Amino acid sequence: MDQLQQLKQMTTVVADTGDIDAIRQFQPVDATTNPSLLLKAAQDPKYAGLLQEARDWAVQANTSQQTALERMTDRFGILIGREITQLIPGRISTEVDARLSFDTAATVSKAHQLIEQYEALGIGRERVLIKIASTWEGIEAGRHLEREGINCNLTLLFSFAQAQACADAGIFLISPFVGRILDWHKQRQPDADFSFDNDPGVQSVSRIYRYYKTHDYSTVVMGASFRNIGEIQALAGCDRLTISPALMQALADDKTDLTQRLKSNMDSQDSKKTLQESAFRWAMNEDCMAQDKLAEGIRNFAADQVKLEQLLSQAR
């Protein structure tokens, strides 16, 4: 078997793309999208019909221009999600507008709107994960939604403190970012050896995985944001890994044996700890990498959300 086939025997493989053709090719269990991936899909002529469908649906209501644009972008993401759910047996992750990352109530309200639209299309909430940035406000929104039976994917997760808070909140799934952590460290230490187990992103996800398993948290760990297949190989055995089509192809081209690196019986050196808001914010303040990458990720997703709105406003 190739390494992608081997990986699927030890880890749930998730497609990190809005490209329906790639999902059809690699047959993942789940799929994730974000504003950047949706923007890329919106620029592909094969999705022109969905763009127009989103615009037509949004303008039917008598709303302000800004609300109509928000409705269009939400609808486009949901229409992409609808297409993807027809190809996968599992869940689609749909992201809340990054500009709501510091507003708990607005995040909960947006999640309700997304779920209502999915259910109106015949897609039950059990097929959907609401993606929310792992700010304190986002985690609290996730806590509220999980109690309502709306499962969440807490994304832009870079620190152990974020992972601790998500587990305490009963979040269904977290997406700790591997490659962006590596990017931060490589920028500051360009000559360092960050291969395989030396990769700080790999180390972060491995630590979180061991902590969750040792202390019996049910929150799923889904490594994300990979820069190379070495990072994926080093995390083989993680609950889930969300992988871009290019890296899934690289794994499919590799016929060597893949070793399972993470196992549920691994012990953690970290004692169980519940973080209150002040402790969470202090831990984030002390982690320059996590603070930098979280803020950067929110800014970039918000910028791509605006670009998507602009593109949708011009659809004809």
Known catalytic residues are: 131
Residue 135 tokens read as: 């700010």
Residue 92's φ and ψ, nearest 5 degrees, are -110, 135
Task: Return the bridge partners of 222, or none.
Answer: 240
- Given a contact cutoff of 8 angstroms between Cβ atoms, the answer to whether 169 and 122 are in contact is no
> How many angstroms separate the Cα of 239 from the Cα of each of 7, 90, 120, 191, 268?
11, 14, 31, 32, 16
- 240-243/12-16 β-pairing: parallel
Measured on CA atoms in the order 24, 26, 29, 35, is the torsion positive or negative? negative
- DSSP at 151: -
- For 123, other C-beta atoms within 10 Å of its C-beta total 18
Structure tokens that stand for 127 in this block: 């097929």
